Amino acid sequence: MVDHENIIFLVVFSIFGLAAVIQLFYYLFFYLKVYTYQPSDSKTIKKQPVSVIICARDEAENLTNFLPMVLKQEYPDYEVIVVNDCSEDNSGDILSEFQKQYPNLRISTVIKDPVFTHNKKFAQFIGIKAAKNDILLFTDADCKPESEKWIEGMTESFSDKTIFVLGYGGYMNQRGLLNKYIRYDTVTIAMQYFGMAIRHIPYMGVGRNLAYRRSFFFDKKGFGSHIHLASGDDDLFINENATGENTCVEYRISTHTRSLPAATFSEWVLQKKRHLTTAPFYKFRDKLLLITEPVTRIIFYISLIVLLSFTFLWPFVLAISGIRLITQITVFALVHKKMKEPGLVSYSLIFDIFSPLINSVVFLGKYRKRSGINKWK
């Protein structure tokens, strides 16, 4: 091997090593923190009034199956506001029947207008405006709380300085490879936004399980700066306003919610496209942190293949990749167990390779084909 080839491979090896170091930094500084984090013992003793807000469009079956779990929470003072947004099924009848049984259920109905069309953000605003209480807790019609202590757990972190509480919204464990990938993708994103929030860099939450103050929402003009976007009701408002001082995380199992996962890959892609439309509007710091991990992951795997193909410094290459692999498996196993996401660790090793490519294709696809992005949900 001539000298210039050695130089090229040394450069590749240096890039490989740097990518591995950056990967280890994310796993040990951000992701592992989700497992080791111990919340403050200074929880609010007084249970403050809460308004739970659920937006629903043609969700009759889901309301029947899941809404009772929200209405039966062990909490002394809360209301549940369901915004029945232009539903064309029998959601209204189902909600009326529930209202007879549960006096704390309130219904806001949005009538379909043939001229004026709107997205979920408008329905969310209707619910926020109708709320009587300052603490707002959000979930979706296709979600169920994991326990009757959901409201209590999600709201007891509110102190005088707390504005946002970020919760975990996972997906139901079902059979099939698609379900495993959706759950892997969800818990991986959770490792990012929980880990960064714990490190005082909050950048998003998920609308399936999120709480914040109504007064703050109106003080900051709510969704005004991104009202033109179909999505962003759950992450852009947080990205603009959350700080390390006003944001708490809450992911005890009793505070989880579980949602129905997409039934087909194309359905999941449409959901993913909608969520990715907000990423370009994040703060530069957050975009840089979020893109660095998958980019260095791709670089790591490509350079690994190149170096092993030419057996260049292969003992060192195997040692570095082994350290990363052991770290990865350990962190995945610990966090997945804490988040009650069984059966994913072995699959995660494969998904870890392909997920940056899948996300890139989906992200670029939203520019090639706009249909589906402006869906209500």
- Distance (Å, whole) CA 171 – CA 272: 14
- Residue 219 near residue 239, CB atoms below 8 Å: no
- For residue 368, count CB atoms less than 10 angstroms from its CB and return exposed for 0-12, middle for 13-18, buried for 19 or more: exposed
pLDDT bracket for residue 217 (50, 70, 90):
very high
pLDDT bracket for residue 171 (50, 70, 90):
very high
- Residue 250 near residue 167, CB atoms below 8 Å: yes
Q: Are strands 135-140 and 210-213 parallel, antiparallel or unpaired?
A: antiparallel
Radius of gyration for the chain, computed over Cα atoms and rounded to the nearest angstrom: 22
Q: Which string of DSSP letters, residue by residue, matches 201-243? A: ------TTSEEEEHHHHHHTTTTGGGTTSSS-TTTHHHHHH--
332 has pLDDT over 90: yes
* Interval 17-27: pLDDT, tens: 999 999 999 99
What would the mean pLDDT of 194-204 be, rounded to a whole number?
A: 97
**Distance from chain centroid for Cα 312:** 40
- Choose between 366 and 66: higher pLDDT: 66
Residue matched to tokens 């959601």: 91
371 has pLDDT over 50: no
107 has pLDDT over 90: yes
CATH architecture of 50-281: Alpha-Beta Complex (3.90)
- What distances in angstroms separate CA 314 from CA 308, 310, 365, one per listed residue? 6, 8, 38
Mean pLDDT of the chain: 91
What would the mean pLDDT of 217-231 be, rounded to a whole number?
A: 83
Q: Which amino acid is at 210?
A: L
231 has pLDDT over 80: no
What would the mean pLDDT of 38-60 be, rounded to a whole number?
A: 85
Q: Which two tokens stand for residue 327?
A: 């770290």
Neighbours of 149 (CB within 10 A): 17
Q: What is the pLDDT of residue 115?
A: 67
- Distance (Å, whole) CA 66 – CA 89: 17
- Distance (Å, whole) CA 33 – CA 14: 28
Q: What is the pLDDT of residue 5?
A: 80
- Choose between 106 and 4: higher pLDDT: 106
Q: In percent, how much of the chain has pLDDT > 70?
A: 94
Q: What is the pLDDT of residue 373?
A: 44
Residue of 154, 110, 109 whose CA lies nearest to 136 = 154
Q: What is the pLDDT of residue 350?
A: 95
Q: What is the pLDDT of residue 43?
A: 61
Q: What is the pLDDT of residue 3?
A: 76
Q: Which two tokens stand for residue 126?
A: 């209707």
Q: What is the pLDDT of residue 172?
A: 97
- For residue 127, count CB atoms less than 10 angstroms from its CB and return exposed for 0-12, middle for 13-18, buried for 19 or more: buried
pLDDT bracket for residue 129 (50, 70, 90):
very high
Question: What are the domain boundaries of the chain?
Answer: 3-36+285-343, 50-281
59 has pLDDT over 90: yes
What would the mean pLDDT of 225-254 be, rounded to a whole number?
A: 88
Residue matched to tokens 């714990």: 198
Q: What is the pLDDT of residue 44?
A: 60
- Distance (Å, whole) CA 184 – CA 342: 10
What would the mean pLDDT of 218-243 be, rounded to a whole number?
A: 85
What residues does 109 pair with on adjacent strands? 84
